[in-house]
Amino acid sequence: MMMILLVCSIILITTLFLQNRSTGKKSNTPKSPPRFPLIGNLHQLGRHPHRSLCSLSQRYGPLMLLHFGRVPVLVVSSADAARDVLKTHDRVFASRPWTKITEKLLYNGRDVASAPYGEYWRQMKSVCVVHLLSNKMVRSFRDVREEEISLMIEKIRESSSLPLNLSKLLVSLTNDVICRVALGKKYGCETDFKELTERFSRLLGTFSVGTYVPWLAWIDWIRGLDRQLKKTGNDFDEFLEKVLDDHVDGDRDGTDFVDVLLTIQRDKSVGFQLDRLSIKAIILDVFVGATDTSYTLMEWVMTELLRHRECLNKLQEEVRTICNGRSSVLEEDIQDMKYLKAVIKETLRLHPPLPLMAPHESTHDVRLREYDIPAGTQVLISAWAIGREALTWGLDVEEFRPERHLDSSVDFRGQDFELIPFGAGRRICPAISFAVVLNEVVLATLVHQFDWRLPVESTEDQTNVAESTGLAIHRMFPLYAIASSST
């Protein structure tokens, strides 16, 4: 016991000595909260890092330097600072850091979202933007969206005015649409697949100690993280292999993403070799990314509408007026639904699905404002904090008020840094149009077809907006609501 205490004391004293020497050197870095030896500021992340970091930034500024173990982390918490990072110095911060999670689950960064900045990433992004997520491709899957929304409406009607698990319904709808578009068929009814996707999403948001404090990597092994990552990565790889084999062996019309990618591979039509591993990584990106964020946004929209009856009534009036007696919402109707778009913007402001977005990493030293940022610094853009800037949004930033967007030109497609739930710059999410059209038509249909209310006996519980933990932040508890036909 004494030997252990002695070793720990030596390590602590050495670390403090080295830290004092390093802090004694002149450096012009952003302000930092005090940190512990070895672990840095990791203890300050808390259960909900986006909230903890927002609180810290109010004291230390919109550009704040933390240390997660040995890794310097720049936290960006204002629209102006985000503009400097994602526009002025976009190329410097366009890369992604390596983590144990991306290595084991995302083919070691072979996907579009986590690939380091470089030629490979440019090639994979061009495949997605041109061949998978173009406006033409988005329009081509209109029938899929309409069919799945019709099935959802039938399920709601069958609830017979009983409390309905709306969260579960939205997860199922999103999963079915994405499966059909990306993989060619629905897998949502298969228990093993549902368990696999839930396990995968949960692990994506897990914190890996060994990534930031290598000498404590044994903790990941002890708590079973290494084993879970390996098993889940292998299980998903086996599933994707089966999907690819089914497409190669089957007689298909080339209407889903896998067909498109296999055609590109076979015809070598993009000027470079698209291998099997890259195809699996791209499909994994589209499926996991689109499913989690889309249903999360719709769940938060319905939560806020049910908590603010006046907003729900105003949206219903707009949708039903524009549909003018028709039995369903057409995608063409959406462009005239200004209040619907305002509701979605306000929800994205208050509840961005990825509140800290995917991390960036500087590829070389850069002067950011008056600060020196060294190469290898991770950057967290807090979309959650940016959406709560009083200078931008007013003193009522915590209130759900869609009207604030009706006379505002601020949009979420990467040009206005006051609202960047999908990112901006080179690493902006390429699937914005793909996700938004589904969200808009689903939400418009829900309020068009039904009148909604919370179960009377559990109203207080249902308005609880406690957040989950993980990468994508949705409700901690499912949203139950009662739907009654509007006709």
Q: Which residues are annotated as a binding site for heme?
A: 429
Helix (H) or strand (E) holding 146: helix 142-157
CA–CA gap between residue 435 and residue 289 (Å, rounded): 10
DSSP E strand boundaries for 118-192: 164-165
Do residues 117 and 95 touch, judged by C-beta distance below 8 A? yes
Do residues 220 and 227 touch, judged by C-beta distance below 8 A? no
Q: What is residue 126's three-state secondary structure?
A: helix
Q: Which residue has the tokens 């204002």?
A: 78
Q: Which residues are annotated as a binding site?
A: 429
Tell me the DSSP string of 401-435: -GGGGTT----SSSS-TT--TT--GGGS-TTHHHH
The tokens describing 325, both together, are 């007696």
Q: What is residue 55's three-state secondary structure?
A: helix
Nearest to 474 by CA among 295, 342, 322, 349: 295
Do residues 286 and 111 touch, judged by C-beta distance below 8 A? no
The tokens describing 421, both together, are 């739930």
The tokens describing 303, both together, are 């939560």
Ranges of H-type helices in 268-403: 276-307, 309-323, 338-350, 383-386, 390-393
Exposure pattern of 195-218 as b/e (b: 16+ CB <10 Å)?
Answer: ebbeebbebbebbbbbbbbeeebe
Do residues 411 and 419 touch, judged by C-beta distance below 8 A? yes
Do residues 322 and 337 touch, judged by C-beta distance below 8 A? yes
The tokens describing 444, both together, are 């418009």
- Computed on alpha carbons and rounded to an integer, the radius of gyration of the chain in Å comes to 24
Q: Which phi and psi (to 5°) does residue 481 adopt? A: -150, 160
CA angle 419, 420, 422 (to 5 degrees): 140
Nearest to 351 by CA among 296, 394, 403: 296
